[in-house]
Amino acid sequence: MRDDTIAIGLPGTIRRLDRHEMPLLREHLLRLDTESRHDRFNGFADESFIERYAAKCATDGTIVIAYLEGGEVLAAAELHPEDGEHSPLPEVAFSVERKVRRKGLGSVLFRRLIAEGKRRGYVSLRVTTGAQNEAMRSLANKFGAHLTFRHGESTGEIDLRKQPTPAAAPRFNPADAFAAPAAFTQAVARFNRDYWKWWLRMYGWRSPIPRASR
């Protein structure tokens, strides 16, 4: 939704990528600097590896929620389906390019991915990250994953049953437009107040809600 990016002060959009758009994911991963690429894949990943990885994402049912700006993917949240043998749980992965970091984008993408997991009927999601990836570890902990360190990496699970379901946005009744002017003004004020309460509550903000003038 466009509103997500407005809330964090970014001009782009956040949406799910179609299968034919996976080359945008590939280009995003190739643009990651050396440190970010190492953190994302928990080790060395050359261009040929990323080419194969993006091609696999296009065919194995991976869901990609991306932040797009200027026709490019600058951040991506991936939801990989369980494969039974190597990953008994659906697994999540994140990557954010440096120029859009520290803006709350990771949290927005994480919420979108959790909502997607719930829609698909998943109960838990698996998180795996390198021991040095502090940003990912902090994000996972924020959403309730208890990470344990083993064999050079941190792993944990997010229980989706404990994650809040976003409330529906309040709706404005068009019939109020035909009310008397004073009643119409009050209706608009109520809608604005309720909308902002919903928006701040959804994103966990605790800033005072502006009151409508009387």
- Hey, what amino acid is at 42? N
Of 107, 110, 111, 17, nearest to 68 by C-alpha is: 17
From 29-43, 50-64, 87-101, 142-156, the region with the lowest mean pLDDT: 142-156
Q: What is the pTM of this model?
A: 0.69
Residue 65: predicted pLDDT: 96
- pLDDT, average across residues 61-83: 94
Of 153, 151, 156, nearest to 127 by C-alpha is: 156
Residue 183 to residue 186: CA distance in whole angstroms: 5
Residue 202: predicted pLDDT: 47
Handedness of CA 125, 91, 98, 4 (dihedral sign): negative
Residue 14: predicted pLDDT: 94
Residue 105 to residue 134: CA distance in whole angstroms: 16
In angstroms, the first-to-last Cα distance of the chain is 32
- pLDDT, average across residues 32-51: 90
Structure confidence by residue, pLDDT tens digits, 92-125: 888 999 999 888 888 899 889 889 999 999 988 8
Residue 193: predicted pLDDT: 60
What's 186's DSSP letter? H
Contact status, residue 212 vs residue 193, Cβ threshold 8 Å:
yes
Residue 201 to residue 129: CA distance in whole angstroms: 29
Contact status, residue 100 vs residue 10, Cβ threshold 8 Å:
yes
Of 126, 48, 56, nearest to 87 by C-alpha is: 126
Give the H or E element holding residue 69: strand 63-69
Alpha helices, H only, the chain: 2-7, 22-31, 34-41, 47-57, 105-119, 134-142, 181-202
Residue 167: predicted pLDDT: 47
Query: Phi and psi of 133, rounded to 5°?
Result: -85, 80
CA 135 to chain centre: 14
Provide the token pair at 103: 């803006």
Contact status, residue 29 vs residue 4, Cβ threshold 8 Å:
no
